[in-house]
Amino acid sequence: MATVVQNIDDLTALVGTHLGYSDYHTLTQEQVNLFADATGDHQWIHTDPVRAAKGPFGQTIAHGYLTLSLLPVLLHSVLQVSGVKMGVNYGTNKVRFTSPVLVGSQIRAGASLATLEEIEGGAQVALDVTVEMKDAPKPSCVAQVVYRYYR
């Protein structure tokens, strides 16, 4: 269940707090193929299940940037900020793809609110995020993502 705050000011009390985990999302080969089409990255470890079965991971894996691009969807079930005109993805401070996401696996994101700073018209927040594959021994992606919320 998402942490829901009524306005930007309520975020201040959450700095340093783990906000929870997203719902699990099953990553499909169709999603990987569509991402490959969108980015032009058709490397066989992502798009060729027959060849990938003989490769280092035993099957196809998601692009790292596909995993990262799912964060807004995953994080919606972790944090929701009401009472704002808009929220935007502002960037990332650091991203590491620490283990592959196997196609067909379930992933979820956990997040902590690392920082909040006032900006003109709103606030900028940094979330420390970990994406994990269900039953995997270590995370697949560790990132600090930055959002801006405007009053």
Q: What is the pLDDT along the chain (151 residues), one digit of tens a residue?
A: 789 999 999 999 999 999 999 999 999 999 999 999 999 999 999 999 999 999 999 999 999 999 999 999 999 999 999 999 999 999 999 999 999 999 999 999 999 999 999 999 999 999 999 999 999 999 999 999 999 999 9
SS3 for 126?
strand
The token pair at 123 is: 């606030």
Domain ranges (residues) in the chain: 3-150
Predicted confidence (pLDDT) per residue in 136-148, tens digit: 999 999 999 999 9
Which residues, in sequence order, are CB contacts of 15 under 8 Å at separation 6+? Answer: 113, 114, 115, 116
- Domain 3-150 matching CATH 3.10.129.10: the answer reads yes
The closest of 125, 58, 120 to 88, measured between CA atoms, is 125
Phi, psi at residue 72, to the nearest 5°? -55, -40
